[in-house]
Structure 1
Amino acid sequence: MSAARDVHAAARAVLAERDVETKLKGAERLWAEWNAGQLQTADSAEPVAPDFAGRPERPLLVPPNQLAKRTLRDREGHAALIHALAHIEFNAINLALDAVCRYPGLPEGFYRDWLQVAAEEAEHFGLLRDHLRTLGYDYGDFPAHDGLMQMARATADAPLARMALVPRLLEARGLDATPEIQQKLRGYGDAAGAAILDIILRDEIGHVAAGDRWFRHLCSLRGLTPEAAYRDLLGRYRAPRPRRPVNTEARLRAGFSEAELDALLDRD
C-alpha cells in the first residue's frame, strides 16, 4: 500500500489548476482519497497555497458595477442569471481548497470539512453548467466579478477572519438570496433550475455551518466571544452586513443564534 500524500500539497495542485474539467475531477478525487485514507496532514506550519487560484481565461472579470442587472426578461437574461450562480460555485471550489492548503496546523476535521465542501461545490457547478448548456450557453459566455476571491485575498493571513467573512458572511448571503431566486425561476417556468437550487441550498447550509464551527473553534482558542468577534471583524474589514430578507431558518440551522441575527439586523 502506497504512503499517504500530503493533503495540503494535493489541494494546492488542484487549486492552481486552470482547466475547469480537471479542477472539478480533482476536487472530487481529493474527497475520495481523504475518505480512503490516502491523504494526511503535514507537520509543517508553513502554508502552501498559491498567490492566486487557477481559473480559465473566461469569464472576463469586471467590477460588480459594470455587470448588467440579471433579470429574467428573456433567454439571455435567464442564462446570465444561471451563469452568475455557476460562477459563485466555481469560486467556492477554489475557496474551499484554499482553506485546506493555506491554514496548516488545524485539527484534521478542518481539512475533512473543506475537502467535502470543495467536492460538493464541484457538483453544484456541474449541475448549473449543464443547465446553462440547455439554454444554449456555457460557462465563460458572460462577464463576472471577483468579489468572493477578493475577500479571500484580504483574509489570506487570518483564518479567523476567513471563516467569519467568507462562509459566515458572503456565503451565508446565498442562503438569504436563494428562495427569492427560486421563486423567480419558477415564475419564469424554470422548474429544473429551481430544483438545482434546492440541492445547493441544502448543501450550503452545511457549508456555512462548517465555517461557523471553525470560526467558533478559533474564537475559543483566542478566548474571544464569537458574536462580538464577528461584529468586530465586520467593521475591521468594512464588510457588508446581511441584506434583507434574511433566511432566518437556514441561518439558524447553520449556527447563527437568534440574538446574533437580531443584532446584525438591528432588530428590536
Structure 2
Amino acid sequence: MSTSMTSLALAARTVLLTADARAKAAASRAMAAAWGAGAVEVGFEVAMPDVPARPDRPELLPPNRMPKRGKAGSERSRFALLHAIAHIELNAIDLAWDIAGRFGEGMPRAFLDDWVRVADDEARHFLLIDDRLRELGGAYGDLPAHDGLWQASTATAHDLPARLAVVPQVLEARGLDVTPAMVARLRAAGDDRAADILDIIYRDEIAHVAAGNRWFRWTCDSNGSSPAEAFRALVSTHFKGELKPPFNDLARGEAGMTPDFYHPLATRDGG
C-alpha cells in the first residue's frame, strides 16, 4: 500500500467533518471514486464523530416547529418540498459513511462496497436536488430544516442490527412509500425536471433499502434470530416515531422487506 493512501475510516471521517453541503457531497463522491479505484485501503484506526459537521444554514428546528410545505402546486411549495428532500439526502450521505466507518471493521468487503456506493448515490442525489433549487432561484440552506434526522444515528450508534433496522429499513423505506405521490404532484404542477430527479432517487432508494435488508438478514443469520421478529423488536426499542400506512408493499418487497416486518408495528402504533 502507498504511504499516502487513506483508509476507509479516514475517508468516512473526512466526509462527516466537512461542513459545507456541496463540499460534503463532492467529498463523498471523490472518496467513493477513490475506494472504487483501489486508492482507499480497509482500515479503521480512527473513530467516527458523534455528530457530523453542518453548514451555518439552514436553521435547524425541532420537528414540531417546522412550517407546513403545502402540496407542491405553487413554486414556493415545490421549492420547500425539494429543500426538505435535499436536507434528507445530505443527512443520508453522513449516515451511509457512518455505517461504513463505525461498523465496517470485521465485516465482509461487500458490506463496505455497498455503503460506499450508497454514500455516492446520496451525494449525487443531493447535488441534483440542489441544482434544481438553484434553477428555481434559491439553494439549499434558504429554508429551515428538520433537526431530528441524526437522532436515529445516535440511538443506534453501538448496535449494527439496530442501525440497519432503523435507518435503511424504516427511514429510507418511508421514502418508497411517499415518493411516487410526490412525483405525481410535481408532474401535475409542470415540474418534470424535479419529478425526473425524484424518479432517479426512488429507484436508487430501493437498492439502498435492499442493502439494509440484506445485511440485516446477514446479522440475523449470524446470531440465529428471525429477521422479521428481530426487526420489530429493534424498531420498537430504538425508533420513537410511527410507521404510518399506506405502505408501498411492492417496492418494499423488491427491496426484500416482507409485510411481516412492518405491518404489525403500524397496527401497534395506531397507523
TM over 0.5: yes
Aligned pairs for 1:41-190 (under 5 A) are: 41-42=42-43, 48-71=47-70, 72-103=72-103, 104-190=105-191
Aligned equivalent of 1:255? 256
Q: TM-score, normalising length from structure 1? A: 0.93
Whole-Å separation in 1 of the counterparts to 2:133 and 2:80: 9
Q: In 2, are the aligned partners of 1:242 and 1:265 still within 8 Å (CA)?
A: yes
What is the CA–CA distance in structure 2 between the aligned matches of 1:28 and 1:166, rounded to whole Å? 21
Deviation string, structure 1 residues 53-109 (Cα, Å, up to 9, x no partner): 111111111011111111135322221111001111011001001111111221111
Distance in 2 (CA, whole Å) between partners of 1:29 and 1:106 is 23
Per-residue deviation, 1:241: 4.1
Q: Which moved further from structure 2: 118-127 or 96-105? A: 96-105
Please give the alpha-carbon distance, in whole angstroms, between the structure 1 residues aligned to 2:215 and 2:94: 18
Write the distance in 2 (CA, Å) between the matches of 1:205 and 1:51.
28
Q: Percent identity?
A: 46
- Structure 2: 5+ residue runs without aligned partners? none
Give the C-alpha shift of residue 242 in structure 1. Answer: 2.8
Task: Return the alpha-carbon distance in structure 2 between the equivalents of residues 118 and 74 of structure 1.
Answer: 32
Aligned residue for 2:76, secondary structure, equals helix
- Residues paired across the two proteins, number: 265
Query: Runs of 5+ in structure 1 lacking a partner?
Result: none
Give the Cα separation in 1 of the matches to 2:206 and 2:11. Answer: 26
RMSD (Å) for aligned C-alpha atoms: 1.8
The answer to whether the 8 Å contact 1:96/1:115 transfers is: yes
Q: State the one-letter code of the partner of 2:63.
A: P
**Mapped partners of 2:46, 2:11: distance in 1:** 13
User: Stretches of 4+ moved more than 4 A in 1?
Assistant: 264-267
Answer with 150-159 or 216-225: which moved more. 216-225
